[in-house]
Amino acid sequence: MAVRTFVGGIHPAQCKFTCDAETVAAPVPARVTVPVGPSWVGYKVLAPRGTEVKVGQKLADNEGFMCVPTHSPVSGKVVDAKPYRAHTGLEFLGITIESDGKQELCEGIGPVGDLDSISPEDIRRIIREAGMLGMGGAEFPTHVKLSLPQGVKVDTVVVNGGECEPYLTSDHKLMVEHAARVVHGTSIVMRSVGVKKAVIGVEDNKPDAVAALTEAACKWQGIDVMPLKSSYPQGYEKAIIKATLGREVPPGALPFSVGVVVVNVATAAAISDRFETGMPLMKRLVTVSGSAVAKPSTVEAYIGTYASELVGLCGGIKGDLGKVIFGGPMMGVAAPGLDFPITKGTSGIVLLGRQEALFWKEMPCIRCGRCNEVCPMFLEPSEIHKYALAEDMAKAEKLFAADCMECGCCSYVCPSKRPLVQSIKLAKQYALARRKK
C-alpha cells in the first residue's frame, strides 16, 4: 500500500538536527513563571504571593468549561502572581516561584487505580484536574476535546505524531523514548470516548518512532501505527484525519463530526503520566535548535522555565542571533527575546542567525498559482490576499478566508515573498468577528 498523506502541502528543508541526540533532562530551575491559562480571565489564584508550594500543587483554577488548572512544577515560594507580557506580546497571568531545590511532592499525588473501574466522566475530570492542554501548540483543553456533545458518536481516536514543522523533534524523541507512555495514554483516551480503534499517525521520516510505537502498541488491542508520507502541515488536525482515515472534516466543523477525536502524542503521554504516577502536566519536551544554538538538543523542561535557561543548557547562543522563535519556523511566534517562560504548548525554541532571519524583498504577485496548489484547505490565497490588502473583507470572506488554518504554506512557496498568510489571518479575524455579532 502506498504511504498515505493529505492533499497539498509543502516539503521545507527538515533541519531536524536534534533527532539523533539524547534528550537532556533540565535541572530544576531556580525560578519559574508558570503561565495561567489558556485565557486567564476569571482565574482564581490559589497560591498568592508568599505561599509555600510543593510539586504538583494547584496554583490557580477556574471553574469555566474551557479552563484547566495550573500546577507548580517545583517546590518553593511564590514570589509573584501578576500579569506578565508573554512571548506573543499578549498579557498573561503568571505565577513566579522561587524553587527551594527540594522538589517535595504535594500530598495526594498518586496513581489512579484500575482504569476499568473508572467512568469516562471521571477520566475526563482527572484529565482536566491535571491541567491537560493540547501540547502540539494550539493549547486547546483536552477534556473539552474528549467531551462529546449529546448523541455524537465517534469511532476512532487519531493520535497525532505528525510533527511536520522543521527543526522540531520533541514529539519524535518522545515517541522513540516513551512509546509505551504514548500508547498507554492513547488507551485512556479511547476509553474516555468509548471507542475500540485508534490510529497513531507518524510521518515516515521518523522510522525509529514508527518501530518503537509499533512494538509498544502490539500489547494493546485496536491501536495501529500508521506511517504517513512526510509533508507539512501533516500535524494539522484536519490534515492528519485526511491522511490517516481519508475523511474530510467540513469547513467550520470539529473532528467529531466525522467520528474522530484527535490528540497529540505528547498529550497522550502526559495523560499516561497522570494515571501512572499522579503527576499533573508540568514537564514537557522542548526542542532547542537552529543555527544560532551551540548544541541543539531536545530538553525535558519544567513548564514555566525561561527560554534563556534552556538555551544556556544547550551551550548558549552561537554567532549573531537574528530571531527567536517559540514553536516551529512555519507557525511559531517570533519573540522579542529569550526572557519568556515556556508554556504547555511550547514544542520548540528555534534561534535563527541574522542572515537567515533577514527580510525577503517583497515583489508584486505574478499570479503563478503556487499558493493555490499547496493550500491544504484548497483556498485561493492570492485572491484572498488581494482583497484583504484592499481591506475588502467582505470579498475575502466570500472566498472562505475563515477556512484558513494559518499553516503558512502559501507564504512559504510565494516566489514574490508576499505575506499571504498574514493578510489572510487578518481577513479571518474580521470574518470570525462579524459572525459573532
Binding to another protein (CB under 8 A) within 171-190 occurs at none
Q: Are 290 and 317 in contact (CB under 8 A)?
A: no
Nearer to another protein, 1 or 13 (CB): 13
Handedness of CA 323, 329, 335, 339 (dihedral sign): negative
Provide φ and ψ at 408, rounded to 5°.
Answer: 85, 10
Q: Which of residues 305-364 bind another protein (CB under 8 A)?
A: 306, 308-309, 311-312, 316-317, 321-325, 329-341, 350, 352, 354, 356-360, 363-364
Q: How many residues form the binding site for another protein (CB under 8 A)?
A: 82
Q: Are 274 and 260 in contact (CB under 8 A)?
A: no
Nearer to another protein, 363 or 432 (CB): 363
In angstroms, the CA 423 to CA 84 distance is: 28
Q: Are strands 24-25 and 44-45 parallel, antiparallel or unpaired?
A: unpaired
Pick one of 133, 213, 379, 431: the residue that binds another protein (CB under 8 A): 379
148 binds another protein (CB under 8 A): no
Span interacting with another protein, options 28-36, 102-110, 178-186, 279-287, rule CB under 8 A: 28-36
Q: Please report how close the Cβ of residue 176 comes to another protein at its closest, in angstroms.
A: 25
Q: Please report how close the Cβ of residue 342 comes to another protein at its closest, in angstroms.
A: 11
Nearer to another protein, 65 or 378 (CB): 378
Number of H helices and E strands in the chain, helices first, is 14, 17
Beta pairing partners, 341: 306
Nearer to another protein, 161 or 408 (CB): 408
Q: Please report how close the Cβ of residue 360 comes to another protein at its closest, in angstroms.
A: 6
Nearer to another protein, 366 or 432 (CB): 366
Q: Please report how close the Cβ of residue 151 comes to another protein at its closest, in angstroms.
A: 20
Q: Are strands 223-228 and 197-203 parallel, antiparallel or unpaired?
A: parallel
Q: Are strands 156-161 and 197-203 parallel, antiparallel or unpaired?
A: parallel
Q: Which of residues 187-206 bind another protein (CB under 8 A)?
A: none
* Biggest CA pair distance of the chain: 64
Handedness of CA 358, 363, 369, 371 (dihedral sign): positive
Backbone φ/ψ region at 189: left (φ over 0), alpha (ψ -120 to 50), beta: alpha
Nearer to another protein, 218 or 368 (CB): 368
Q: Which of residues 410-429 bind another protein (CB under 8 A)?
A: 411-417, 419, 421-422, 425
Q: Please report how close the Cβ of residue 430 comes to another protein at its closest, in angstroms.
A: 16
Nearer to another protein, 39 or 422 (CB): 422
Q: Please report how close the Cβ of residue 279 comes to another protein at its closest, in angstroms.
A: 24
DSSP state of 310: H
Nearer to another protein, 8 or 141 (CB): 8
Q: Please report how close the Cβ of residue 353 comes to another protein at its closest, in angstroms.
A: 11
Q: Which of residues 255-314 bind another protein (CB under 8 A)?
A: 306, 308-309, 311-312
Beta pairing partners, 76: 53, 99
Q: Which three cell numbers stand for residue 147?
A: 467531551
Nearer to another protein, 141 or 290 (CB): 290
CA distances from 351 to 19, 292, 293, 297, 357 (A): 17, 5, 6, 12, 9
**Angle, CA of 91, 428 and 257, to the nearest 5°:** 100
Q: Which of residues 74-93 bind another protein (CB under 8 A)?
A: 84-85, 89
In angstroms, the CA 344 to CA 163 distance is: 16
Pick one of 208, 224, 248, 276: the residue that binds another protein (CB under 8 A): 248
Q: Please report how close the Cβ of residue 30 comes to another protein at its closest, in angstroms.
A: 6
Nearer to another protein, 142 or 205 (CB): 205
Q: Please report how close the Cβ of residue 374 comes to another protein at its closest, in angstroms.
A: 10
In angstroms, the CA 3 to CA 216 distance is: 21
Burial of residue 373, with CB atoms counted within 10 A of its CB: 0-12 exposed, 13-18 middle, 19 or more buried: middle
